[in-house]
Amino acid sequence: MHLELEDDIVDWRKPITKLEESRARIDELDELIASLINERLTLCQEIGEAKKRMNKPVLDDKREKEVLSRVAAVATDPVIAAQLVAIYTTMLAGSRGLQEKLSETTSPKAQAGANANSESKEESNQTEVDSSQDSSEHAIAQTRNPQRYFPTVTIIGLGLIGGTVARLIRKHSPKTNITAVDSPEVLQKALVEGLIDCAETKAANAAERSSLILLAAPPKKNIEILESIAPKLSRRQLVVDVTSTKKGICSVAEALDLNGADFIGGHPLFGSQKSGLEASSTVATNEAVFCLTPTTKSSQMSVKRFSRWLEGLGLKPVEATPASHDKVLARTSHLVQLIAVALGASIADQNVTEHELKLHGPAFKQLARLMESPPEMWLDLFNQNKEELQTAIQDLVKQLELASHALDSADFEKLVKMFETARSTSKSST
């Protein structure tokens, strides 16, 4: 089902054209190519230094012919092959120039002349730096423009996280074309609000026409959606999920045939005890961490592009393996939620009255917020990460038993050590 509202209700945006998408892709490739050329020339300098020590000539005609032959073989068209050879011929000449400079022996007289001119050169260089600063800052701003990386985005699941990401895109990249997949009721609200451009109730239809697909449905559902859209994917597309467990869905992605598309596991470390699109308007996201768990289906370019995209949205990308993510999150998120629930159930067992519950400090208030979390999502997460969560529970029980024994024996020094260790953990987390 495709939903549309009348033009006088929604501020329609023109769809991104193929030309604009191609130019955005070229911009990305230019940046990558320049980075690789810089790395290549740096290596050529190192080779030049080695040749100088070994007293070998700079020019290696046989080696250069091999390079040009290999480059030409990469091309898919004879005309392109000729262009590549011409480009590499120029680059090889530049490499020789770097090596020839290194092979020159600097005489004392030349060195004295260089020292005499250093002050004037320094002044000239500073002028060049100042004049290029504005253009450099402009280039950085362009690099952080999210639309440059993903001009079309599909968000499958417009709940708390999906809605929050949509709001970030609207704020930082208003020209990005956003398609959402959800129920007709949710999509209708998002269209009226102007949060999205297009609405779909079928994930496969939306996934085909987007450069970035975000899986923001419940954990188990995300795996099902990934399996269903896999045949519709193609090269140059990127799929990222936002589930707070990573091993399960990353393993599925690695086993699937994604038709050349890339997949990166993701987990935005922001949220709320509430759920739904409405709750997304109150989520604090300023410089929040967004964890990336690359897989065998994650190219280096895709990880870099997505990281830059996140930075453009005001988020901080942090990489981890799926296994390490699940091990840490079992303790810093899943166990914390379970502690809040267990504490609430324990207090209820003691028949504490509503009047008595007013006697609490700020720490309990924070845990009380977690006690209000909907169980459906958490039960799914607990099940997907149950091995790590069980280990985390056992480790916590051991620490509580140590605290209990310390109280029985009045061993307050042991309790002090626990406080110091906890303080160290707290400082490491900031």
CATH number at residue 381: 1.10.3660.10
The packing angle between helices 18-54 and 300-312, to 10°, is: 120
> At CA 63, angle to CA 61 and CA 68, rounded to 5?
95
- Which residues in the chain land under pLDDT 70? 1-21, 103-144
Q: Does one domain contain both 116 and 208?
A: no
Q: Does one domain contain both 171 and 225?
A: yes
Q: Does one domain contain both 190 and 310?
A: yes
What range defines the domain where residue 280 resides? Answer: 2-11+146-320
Q: Last residue of some domain: 127, 143, 159?
A: 143
Q: Does one domain contain both 223 and 77?
A: no
Question: pTM here?
Answer: 0.67
Domain containing residue 279: CATH number: 3.40.50.720
Which residues are registered as beta bridge partners of 181? 156, 200
Q: Does one domain contain both 153 and 243?
A: yes
Q: Does one domain contain both 126 and 248?
A: no
pLDDT at 108: 44
Q: Does one domain contain both 232 and 343?
A: no
Domain count, the chain: 3
Burial (CB count within 10 angstroms: exposed 0-12, middle 13-18, buried 19+), residue 203? buried
Q: Does one domain contain both 105 and 78?
A: yes
pLDDT at 430: 72
- Helix H or strand E encompassing 291: strand 289-294
Buried b (16+ CB within 10 A) or exposed e, 207-235: bebbbbbbbbbbbbbbbebbeebbebbee
Q: Last residue of some domain: 97, 128, 143?
A: 143
Domain containing residue 113: CATH number: 1.20.59.10
Longest dimension (CA), the chain: 93
Q: Last residue of some domain: 110, 143, 176?
A: 143
Burial (CB count within 10 angstroms: exposed 0-12, middle 13-18, buried 19+), residue 154? buried
Q: Does one domain contain both 297 and 335?
A: no
Q: Does one domain contain both 131 and 192?
A: no
pLDDT at 103: 62
Q: Does one domain contain both 120 and 189?
A: no
Q: Does one domain contain both 190 and 115?
A: no
